[in-house]
């Protein structure tokens, strides 16, 4: 049970790091995006998943993967919106757009792979 709780906590911290990277890049949160956010977003998410997968049952793991996939796709979508708004001069970015591109790519990949992994109903397929 403790591995499930620790996994959920670490995955939440990873998603929080991604959200902080998004908000600092767009200027909605004061400060500048530090390199730690870039590293912690995928690393904590992956470590949280591993801990959850070790301690959880198959149905719990599938539910958590789909939830995390949706949240990562939401982060990627928000980064895409911010990039489009910045490109149309509707939003002035405080920092480089690199953080937003990073969220779009990494969050989009993690979310897409997670959603695709839970799509199958037959585990033997």
Q: What is the pLDDT of residue 33?
A: 82
**Range list of H helices, the chain:** 2-26, 35-55, 58-87, 98-102, 108-117
In a domain, 34, yes or no: yes
DSSP class of residue 123 equals T
Q: Could you give the percent of the chain with pLDDT greater than 70?
A: 95
What is the model's pTM? 0.88
Cβ 65 vs Cβ 9: under 8 Å: no
Cβ 62 vs Cβ 118: under 8 Å: yes
Domain that holds residue 107: 2-117
Instruction: Compute the average pLDDT of residues 47-66.
Output: 91
Closest CA to 16 of 94, 75, 59: 75
In a domain, 122, yes or no: no
Instruction: Compute the average pLDDT of residues 102-109.
Output: 95
In a domain, 125, yes or no: no
In a domain, 62, yes or no: yes
Distance of CA 91 to the CA centre of its chain: 22
Q: What is the pLDDT of residue 118?
A: 81
In a domain, 69, yes or no: yes
Instruction: Compute the average pLDDT of residues 40-55.
Output: 92
d(CA 112, CA 70): 9
In a domain, 109, yes or no: yes
Q: Which residue's structure tokens are 């390199």?
A: 35
Assign 80 a pLDDT band (cuts: 50, 70, 90): very high
In a domain, 67, yes or no: yes
In a domain, 75, yes or no: yes
Q: What is the pLDDT of residue 124?
A: 60
Q: Is the dihedral of CA 92, 97, 102, 105 positive or negative?
A: positive
Q: How many domains does the chain have?
A: 1
Distance of CA 73 to the CA centre of its chain: 7
């Amino acid at each position: 049970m403790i591995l499930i709780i620790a996994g959920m906590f670490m995955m939440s911290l990873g998603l929080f790091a991604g959200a902080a990277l998004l908000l600092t890049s767009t200027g909605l949160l004061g400060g500048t995006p530090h390199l730690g956010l870039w590293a912690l977003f995928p690393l904590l998410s992956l470590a949280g998943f591993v801990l959850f997968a070790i301690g959880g049952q198959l149905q719990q793991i599938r539910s958590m993967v789909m939830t995390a996939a949706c949240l990562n796709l939401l982060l990627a979508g928000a980064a895409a919106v911010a990039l489009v708004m910045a490109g149309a001069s509707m939003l002035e970015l405080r920092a480089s757009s690199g953080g937003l591109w990073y969220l779009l790519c990494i969050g989009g990949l993690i979310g897409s792979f997670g959603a695709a992994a839970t799509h199958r109903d037959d585990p033997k397929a």
